[in-house]
Amino acid sequence: MNKFRLIATAAFGVEAVVADELKKLGYTDLKIENSRVRFTADESAIARCNLWLRSADRILIEVGEFDAFTFDELFEKTKALPWADYLPREAEFPVEGKSINSKLFSVSDCQAIVKKAIVEKLKQTYPCKWFEEDGPRYRIEVALLKDHAILTLDTSGIGLHKRGYRKLVAEAPLKETLAAAIISLSRWKPDRAFIDPFCGSGTFPIEAALLGRNMAPGLNRAFDAEKWGFVSSRFWSKGREEARDLIDYKQPLGIFGFDIDKDAISLSRYHAEQAGLKDSIFFQRQPVDSLGSRYKYGYLICNPPYGERMSDKKEVEQLYKTMGSVFEGLDTWSFYVLTSHPQFEKWFGGRASKKRKLYNGRLQCNLYQYFGPKPSDLRGPFARTD
Protein backbone atom coordinates (compact mmCIF):
# COMPACT_ATOMS: atom_id res chain seq x y z
CA MET A 1 0.00 0.00 0.00
CA ASN A 2 1.34 3.44 -0.92
CA LYS A 3 2.65 5.71 1.82
CA PHE A 4 1.94 9.43 1.88
CA ARG A 5 3.43 12.34 3.75
CA LEU A 6 0.37 13.91 5.33
CA ILE A 7 -0.27 17.19 7.13
CA ALA A 8 -3.16 17.84 9.50
CA THR A 9 -3.52 21.62 9.67
CA ALA A 10 -4.85 23.25 12.82
CA ALA A 11 -5.58 26.59 14.41
CA PHE A 12 -2.65 27.97 16.39
CA GLY A 13 -2.72 26.59 19.93
CA VAL A 14 -4.54 23.32 19.25
CA GLU A 15 -1.79 21.39 17.46
CA ALA A 16 -1.25 19.13 20.51
CA VAL A 17 -4.96 18.30 20.56
CA VAL A 18 -4.82 17.24 16.90
CA ALA A 19 -1.71 15.16 17.62
CA ASP A 20 -3.54 13.42 20.46
CA GLU A 21 -6.46 12.63 18.14
CA LEU A 22 -4.05 11.18 15.58
CA LYS A 23 -2.46 8.99 18.24
CA LYS A 24 -5.88 7.64 19.19
CA LEU A 25 -6.38 6.70 15.54
CA GLY A 26 -3.11 4.74 15.68
CA TYR A 27 -0.69 7.19 14.02
CA THR A 28 2.37 7.66 16.20
CA ASP A 29 5.18 9.01 14.00
CA LEU A 30 4.12 12.62 14.44
CA LYS A 31 5.92 15.94 14.09
CA ILE A 32 4.15 18.88 15.72
CA GLU A 33 4.81 22.29 14.16
CA ASN A 34 3.06 25.66 14.28
CA SER A 35 -0.49 25.24 12.93
CA ARG A 36 0.10 21.68 11.68
CA VAL A 37 1.01 18.11 12.53
CA ARG A 38 2.99 16.05 10.01
CA PHE A 39 2.88 12.28 9.78
CA THR A 40 3.36 9.44 7.30
CA ALA A 41 0.59 6.91 6.63
CA ASP A 42 -1.06 4.85 3.92
CA GLU A 43 -4.04 5.88 1.79
CA SER A 44 -6.55 4.53 4.29
CA ALA A 45 -5.44 7.33 6.64
CA ILE A 46 -6.72 9.92 4.17
CA ALA A 47 -10.24 8.60 4.65
CA ARG A 48 -10.00 7.85 8.39
CA CYS A 49 -8.48 11.21 9.32
CA ASN A 50 -11.00 13.21 7.31
CA LEU A 51 -13.84 11.25 8.90
CA TRP A 52 -12.60 11.22 12.51
CA LEU A 53 -10.45 14.25 13.31
CA ARG A 54 -12.47 16.71 15.38
CA SER A 55 -10.02 19.59 15.83
CA ALA A 56 -8.00 19.64 12.57
CA ASP A 57 -8.82 22.10 9.78
CA ARG A 58 -7.74 20.04 6.74
CA ILE A 59 -5.80 16.93 5.70
CA LEU A 60 -3.14 17.69 3.10
CA ILE A 61 -0.81 15.49 1.06
CA GLU A 62 2.69 16.91 0.94
CA VAL A 63 3.87 16.64 -2.69
CA GLY A 64 7.22 18.29 -2.09
CA GLU A 65 9.20 20.93 -0.20
CA PHE A 66 12.30 22.90 -1.04
CA ASP A 67 14.00 26.29 -0.64
CA ALA A 68 13.08 28.85 -3.30
CA PHE A 69 14.74 32.26 -3.46
CA THR A 70 13.90 33.07 -7.10
CA PHE A 71 10.97 32.47 -9.44
CA ASP A 72 13.22 30.29 -11.61
CA GLU A 73 13.94 28.05 -8.61
CA LEU A 74 10.27 27.85 -7.76
CA PHE A 75 9.43 26.87 -11.35
CA GLU A 76 12.14 24.25 -11.81
CA LYS A 77 11.73 22.61 -8.42
CA THR A 78 7.96 22.48 -8.78
CA LYS A 79 8.31 20.97 -12.25
CA ALA A 80 10.63 18.27 -10.87
CA LEU A 81 7.88 16.88 -8.61
CA PRO A 82 5.87 13.79 -9.72
CA TRP A 83 2.58 15.55 -10.47
CA ALA A 84 1.31 12.85 -12.84
CA ASP A 85 1.31 10.42 -9.91
CA TYR A 86 -1.52 12.49 -8.44
CA LEU A 87 -3.26 14.42 -11.22
CA PRO A 88 -5.13 12.69 -14.06
CA ARG A 89 -5.36 14.35 -17.45
CA GLU A 90 -8.83 15.76 -16.77
CA ALA A 91 -8.01 17.09 -13.26
CA GLU A 92 -9.14 20.54 -12.20
CA PHE A 93 -6.18 21.90 -10.25
CA PRO A 94 -6.54 25.45 -8.94
CA VAL A 95 -3.44 26.78 -7.18
CA GLU A 96 -3.72 28.82 -4.01
CA GLY A 97 -0.85 30.35 -2.12
CA LYS A 98 0.55 32.26 0.82
CA SER A 99 3.93 33.83 1.53
CA ILE A 100 5.39 34.92 4.86
CA ASN A 101 8.81 36.51 5.32
CA SER A 102 10.00 35.30 1.91
CA LYS A 103 11.78 36.95 -1.01
CA LEU A 104 9.00 35.66 -3.26
CA PHE A 105 6.33 37.79 -1.60
CA SER A 106 3.92 38.15 -4.54
CA VAL A 107 1.41 35.37 -3.91
CA SER A 108 -0.30 35.79 -7.29
CA ASP A 109 3.02 35.44 -9.12
CA CYS A 110 3.91 32.33 -7.11
CA GLN A 111 0.54 30.78 -7.93
CA ALA A 112 0.96 31.47 -11.64
CA ILE A 113 4.49 30.03 -11.73
CA VAL A 114 3.50 26.87 -9.85
CA LYS A 115 0.51 26.39 -12.17
CA LYS A 116 2.71 26.78 -15.25
CA ALA A 117 5.33 24.39 -13.88
CA ILE A 118 2.70 21.71 -13.16
CA VAL A 119 1.25 22.08 -16.67
CA GLU A 120 4.69 21.66 -18.23
CA LYS A 121 5.33 18.59 -16.08
CA LEU A 122 1.99 17.01 -16.98
CA LYS A 123 2.67 17.52 -20.70
CA GLN A 124 5.53 15.05 -20.36
CA THR A 125 2.98 12.35 -19.41
CA TYR A 126 -0.17 13.48 -21.22
CA PRO A 127 0.56 14.51 -24.84
CA CYS A 128 -1.66 17.56 -25.20
CA LYS A 129 -1.28 21.32 -25.51
CA TRP A 130 -4.26 22.26 -23.32
CA PHE A 131 -5.82 20.75 -20.19
CA GLU A 132 -9.59 21.18 -20.04
CA GLU A 133 -9.70 20.74 -16.24
CA ASP A 134 -13.23 19.34 -16.35
CA GLY A 135 -12.66 16.45 -13.95
CA PRO A 136 -12.33 16.02 -10.16
CA ARG A 137 -10.93 18.92 -8.14
CA TYR A 138 -7.38 18.78 -6.75
CA ARG A 139 -6.74 21.98 -4.82
CA ILE A 140 -3.01 22.74 -4.72
CA GLU A 141 -1.35 25.15 -2.30
CA VAL A 142 2.09 26.70 -2.44
CA ALA A 143 3.06 27.92 1.03
CA LEU A 144 6.25 29.92 1.45
CA LEU A 145 7.71 30.61 4.88
CA LYS A 146 11.15 32.19 5.17
CA ASP A 147 11.98 31.17 1.57
CA HIS A 148 11.00 27.53 2.18
CA ALA A 149 8.19 26.23 -0.04
CA ILE A 150 5.79 23.38 0.71
CA LEU A 151 3.46 22.20 -2.06
CA THR A 152 0.39 20.27 -0.99
CA LEU A 153 -2.84 18.70 -2.24
CA ASP A 154 -5.94 19.34 -0.15
CA THR A 155 -7.82 16.06 0.38
CA SER A 156 -10.64 17.62 2.42
CA GLY A 157 -12.18 20.15 0.05
CA ILE A 158 -14.23 22.45 2.25
CA GLY A 159 -12.73 22.77 5.74
CA LEU A 160 -13.27 20.01 8.29
CA HIS A 161 -15.23 22.40 10.51
CA LYS A 162 -18.06 21.97 8.00
CA ARG A 163 -19.59 18.87 9.59
CA GLY A 164 -22.81 19.20 7.62
CA TYR A 165 -25.20 19.87 10.50
CA ARG A 166 -24.90 23.66 10.67
CA LYS A 167 -27.07 24.72 7.74
CA LEU A 168 -27.81 28.13 9.23
CA VAL A 169 -25.58 30.35 11.35
CA ALA A 170 -26.08 32.64 14.31
CA GLU A 171 -24.16 35.87 14.81
CA ALA A 172 -20.38 35.32 15.31
CA PRO A 173 -20.46 31.50 15.15
CA LEU A 174 -17.66 29.51 16.77
CA LYS A 175 -15.93 27.07 14.43
CA GLU A 176 -16.85 23.47 15.18
CA THR A 177 -13.18 22.43 15.14
CA LEU A 178 -12.24 25.02 17.80
CA ALA A 179 -15.23 24.02 19.93
CA ALA A 180 -14.17 20.37 19.73
CA ALA A 181 -10.59 21.30 20.65
CA ILE A 182 -11.74 23.24 23.72
CA ILE A 183 -13.88 20.31 24.86
CA SER A 184 -10.84 18.03 24.47
CA LEU A 185 -8.68 20.48 26.44
CA SER A 186 -11.22 20.44 29.27
CA ARG A 187 -10.95 16.63 29.46
CA TRP A 188 -14.73 16.38 29.76
CA LYS A 189 -16.06 12.83 29.69
CA PRO A 190 -19.57 11.79 28.63
CA ASP A 191 -20.36 10.54 32.15
CA ARG A 192 -20.30 14.14 33.44
CA ALA A 193 -22.92 16.87 33.04
CA PHE A 194 -22.18 19.57 30.47
CA ILE A 195 -23.64 23.08 30.24
CA ASP A 196 -23.20 25.92 27.77
CA PRO A 197 -25.12 28.97 29.07
CA PHE A 198 -24.50 30.95 25.83
CA CYS A 199 -25.11 28.18 23.30
CA GLY A 200 -25.92 30.37 20.27
CA SER A 201 -26.32 28.00 17.33
CA GLY A 202 -25.50 25.00 19.56
CA THR A 203 -21.91 24.30 18.59
CA PHE A 204 -20.47 23.39 22.00
CA PRO A 205 -23.34 21.07 23.07
CA ILE A 206 -23.48 19.39 19.64
CA GLU A 207 -19.71 18.80 19.52
CA ALA A 208 -19.86 17.40 23.06
CA ALA A 209 -22.69 15.06 22.07
CA LEU A 210 -20.80 13.90 18.96
CA LEU A 211 -17.87 13.06 21.22
CA GLY A 212 -20.10 11.47 23.85
CA ARG A 213 -21.81 9.28 21.27
CA ASN A 214 -18.45 8.51 19.58
CA MET A 215 -19.84 9.80 16.28
CA ALA A 216 -17.27 10.59 13.58
CA PRO A 217 -17.69 14.33 12.84
CA GLY A 218 -17.16 13.87 9.10
CA LEU A 219 -19.56 10.97 8.67
CA ASN A 220 -22.29 12.97 6.92
CA ARG A 221 -20.25 15.05 4.46
CA ALA A 222 -18.18 14.58 1.31
CA PHE A 223 -14.47 15.15 0.67
CA ASP A 224 -12.57 16.06 -2.51
CA ALA A 225 -10.30 13.00 -2.28
CA GLU A 226 -13.30 10.65 -2.58
CA LYS A 227 -13.19 11.36 -6.33
CA TRP A 228 -9.45 10.84 -6.73
CA GLY A 229 -8.24 7.81 -8.61
CA PHE A 230 -5.24 7.06 -6.39
CA VAL A 231 -7.34 6.88 -3.18
CA SER A 232 -9.43 3.72 -3.42
CA SER A 233 -13.17 4.08 -2.82
CA ARG A 234 -13.07 0.99 -0.61
CA PHE A 235 -11.28 2.99 2.10
CA TRP A 236 -14.08 5.54 2.18
CA SER A 237 -16.82 2.92 2.31
CA LYS A 238 -14.94 0.90 4.92
CA GLY A 239 -14.24 4.03 6.96
CA ARG A 240 -17.89 5.05 6.99
CA GLU A 241 -19.02 1.54 7.83
CA GLU A 242 -16.57 1.44 10.74
CA ALA A 243 -17.75 4.88 11.93
CA ARG A 244 -21.41 3.83 11.94
CA ASP A 245 -20.59 0.64 13.85
CA LEU A 246 -18.75 2.58 16.56
CA ILE A 247 -21.57 5.00 17.41
CA ASP A 248 -22.60 4.53 21.05
CA TYR A 249 -26.32 5.17 21.35
CA LYS A 250 -26.50 3.70 24.87
CA GLN A 251 -24.17 6.13 26.66
CA PRO A 252 -26.26 8.34 29.02
CA LEU A 253 -25.64 12.04 28.41
CA GLY A 254 -26.42 15.12 30.46
CA ILE A 255 -25.76 17.92 27.96
CA PHE A 256 -27.57 21.26 28.22
CA GLY A 257 -27.57 24.38 26.05
CA PHE A 258 -29.11 27.63 27.24
CA ASP A 259 -29.43 31.05 25.63
CA ILE A 260 -31.50 34.16 26.27
CA ASP A 261 -32.33 34.39 22.55
CA LYS A 262 -35.30 32.24 21.53
CA ASP A 263 -34.17 32.24 17.88
CA ALA A 264 -30.79 30.86 18.96
CA ILE A 265 -32.48 28.03 20.83
CA SER A 266 -34.61 27.20 17.78
CA LEU A 267 -31.45 27.19 15.66
CA SER A 268 -29.65 24.92 18.15
CA ARG A 269 -32.48 22.41 18.12
CA TYR A 270 -32.52 22.42 14.32
CA HIS A 271 -28.76 21.83 14.14
CA ALA A 272 -28.92 19.04 16.73
CA GLU A 273 -31.59 17.31 14.66
CA GLN A 274 -29.45 17.69 11.52
CA ALA A 275 -26.56 16.07 13.41
CA GLY A 276 -28.73 13.11 14.46
CA LEU A 277 -28.68 14.25 18.09
CA LYS A 278 -32.23 15.49 18.57
CA ASP A 279 -32.79 13.44 21.74
CA SER A 280 -29.23 13.71 23.09
CA ILE A 281 -29.18 17.40 24.10
CA PHE A 282 -31.58 19.55 26.13
CA PHE A 283 -31.94 23.14 24.87
CA GLN A 284 -33.90 25.83 26.70
CA ARG A 285 -34.30 29.60 26.59
CA GLN A 286 -32.84 30.93 29.82
CA PRO A 287 -30.80 33.97 30.94
CA VAL A 288 -27.47 33.28 32.60
CA ASP A 289 -28.61 34.74 35.95
CA SER A 290 -31.14 31.87 36.22
CA LEU A 291 -28.48 29.20 35.73
CA GLY A 292 -28.36 26.23 38.08
CA SER A 293 -28.07 22.46 37.95
CA ARG A 294 -29.38 19.47 39.83
CA TYR A 295 -26.09 17.68 39.14
CA LYS A 296 -23.36 17.91 41.75
CA TYR A 297 -20.41 17.70 39.33
CA GLY A 298 -20.03 18.89 35.78
CA TYR A 299 -18.35 21.06 33.17
CA LEU A 300 -19.49 24.49 32.08
CA ILE A 301 -17.93 25.48 28.74
CA CYS A 302 -18.89 28.66 26.97
CA ASN A 303 -18.03 31.40 24.47
CA PRO A 304 -19.77 34.52 25.87
CA PRO A 305 -19.84 37.92 24.12
CA TYR A 306 -16.43 39.61 24.03
CA GLY A 307 -17.36 43.31 23.95
CA GLU A 308 -15.13 44.05 20.96
CA ARG A 309 -17.19 47.15 20.16
CA MET A 310 -16.84 50.01 22.65
CA SER A 311 -20.62 50.38 22.82
CA ASP A 312 -20.90 46.83 24.15
CA LYS A 313 -17.95 46.90 26.57
CA LYS A 314 -19.75 47.99 29.75
CA GLU A 315 -22.66 45.62 29.10
CA VAL A 316 -20.26 42.69 28.59
CA GLU A 317 -18.27 43.52 31.72
CA GLN A 318 -21.51 43.50 33.72
CA LEU A 319 -22.32 40.14 32.13
CA TYR A 320 -18.95 38.74 33.29
CA LYS A 321 -19.66 40.04 36.80
CA THR A 322 -23.02 38.25 36.75
CA MET A 323 -21.35 35.08 35.50
CA GLY A 324 -18.90 35.13 38.42
CA SER A 325 -21.72 35.50 40.92
CA VAL A 326 -23.92 32.82 39.34
CA PHE A 327 -21.12 30.32 38.79
CA GLU A 328 -20.31 30.44 42.52
CA GLY A 329 -23.46 28.37 42.99
CA LEU A 330 -21.79 25.59 40.99
CA ASP A 331 -18.82 25.35 43.34
CA THR A 332 -18.08 21.69 42.53
CA TRP A 333 -18.08 22.29 38.76
CA SER A 334 -15.24 23.19 36.38
CA PHE A 335 -15.54 26.25 34.12
CA TYR A 336 -13.96 26.95 30.71
CA VAL A 337 -14.57 30.40 29.24
CA LEU A 338 -13.27 31.62 25.87
CA THR A 339 -13.02 35.38 25.44
CA SER A 340 -10.77 38.07 23.99
CA HIS A 341 -11.53 40.52 26.81
CA PRO A 342 -8.17 41.28 28.49
CA GLN A 343 -9.71 41.88 31.92
CA PHE A 344 -12.10 38.94 32.09
CA GLU A 345 -10.71 37.67 35.40
CA LYS A 346 -11.19 41.08 37.04
CA TRP A 347 -14.86 41.28 36.13
CA PHE A 348 -15.52 37.57 36.68
CA GLY A 349 -14.08 37.93 40.16
CA GLY A 350 -11.45 35.20 40.24
CA ARG A 351 -8.10 34.24 38.76
CA ALA A 352 -8.19 31.23 36.45
CA SER A 353 -6.45 28.00 37.42
CA LYS A 354 -4.87 28.08 33.96
CA LYS A 355 -5.00 30.17 30.78
CA ARG A 356 -4.36 29.06 27.23
CA LYS A 357 -3.96 31.35 24.20
CA LEU A 358 -6.20 30.38 21.28
CA TYR A 359 -7.46 32.07 18.13
CA ASN A 360 -11.14 32.39 17.29
CA GLY A 361 -10.67 33.10 13.61
CA ARG A 362 -8.04 35.82 13.57
CA LEU A 363 -9.00 37.13 17.00
CA GLN A 364 -6.59 36.29 19.82
CA CYS A 365 -8.45 34.93 22.84
CA ASN A 366 -7.72 33.20 26.10
CA LEU A 367 -9.35 30.05 27.36
CA TYR A 368 -9.83 30.71 31.08
CA GLN A 369 -9.88 27.39 32.93
CA TYR A 370 -11.26 27.09 36.44
CA PHE A 371 -10.77 23.59 37.83
CA GLY A 372 -13.35 22.18 40.20
CA PRO A 373 -12.68 19.49 42.82
CA LYS A 374 -12.34 15.88 41.79
CA PRO A 375 -15.64 14.00 42.24
CA SER A 376 -15.84 12.10 45.51
CA ASP A 377 -19.53 11.23 45.39
CA LEU A 378 -20.17 7.48 45.23
CA ARG A 379 -23.72 7.72 43.92
CA GLY A 380 -22.65 7.70 40.27
CA PRO A 381 -21.53 10.14 37.58
CA PHE A 382 -24.84 11.99 37.44
CA ALA A 383 -25.22 12.36 41.20
CA ARG A 384 -27.71 15.07 42.11
CA THR A 385 -27.41 17.76 44.74
CA ASP A 386 -30.93 17.06 46.07
| pLDDT tens for each residue of 31-59 | 999 999 999 999 999 999 999 999 999 99
Residues 6 or more apart whose CB falls under 8 angstroms from that of 29 comprise 39, 40
Question: Which pLDDT value is given to residue 318?
Answer: 95
Quick one: what percent of the chain has pLDDT higher than 70? Answer: 95
Contact of 337 with 288, CB cutoff 8 Å: no
Residue 11 scores a pLDDT above 90: yes
- For domain 3-154, the CATH class is alpha beta
Of how many residues is the chain composed? 386
* Average pLDDT for 151-165: 96
Question: Which pLDDT value is given to residue 379?
Answer: 54
* Average pLDDT for 140-152: 97
Residue 219 scores a pLDDT above 70: yes
The confidence band for 307, taking pLDDT boundaries of 50, 70 and 90, is confident
Inter-CA distances, 115 with 68, 219, 229, Å: 16, 33, 21
* Average pLDDT for 294-309: 89
Question: What does the mean pLDDT of the chain come to?
Answer: 94
| pLDDT tens for each residue of 26-37 | 999 999 999 999
Question: Which pLDDT value is given to residue 159?
Answer: 96
* Average pLDDT for 343-367: 95
The confidence band for 24, taking pLDDT boundaries of 50, 70 and 90, is very high
| pLDDT tens for each residue of 262-296 | 999 999 999 999 999 999 999 999 999 999 999 99
The confidence band for 108, taking pLDDT boundaries of 50, 70 and 90, is very high
Q: Which CATH number is associated with domain 176-213+250-370? A: 3.40.50.150
The model's pTM is 0.94
The confidence band for 382, taking pLDDT boundaries of 50, 70 and 90, is low
Residues 6 or more apart whose CB falls under 8 angstroms from that of 175 comprise 11, 161, 203, 360, 361
* Average pLDDT for 190-209: 96
The angle that helices 107-123 and 71-79 make with each other, rounded to 10 degrees, is 30
Question: Which pLDDT value is given to residue 378?
Answer: 47
Residue 386 scores a pLDDT above 70: no
The confidence band for 242, taking pLDDT boundaries of 50, 70 and 90, is very high
* Average pLDDT for 16-22: 98
Domain ranges of the chain: 3-154, 176-213+250-370
β-pair type (363-370, 354-360): antiparallel
Question: Which pLDDT value is given to residue 374?
Answer: 83
Question: Which pLDDT value is given to residue 173?
Answer: 74
| pLDDT tens for each residue of 179-188 | 999 999 999 9
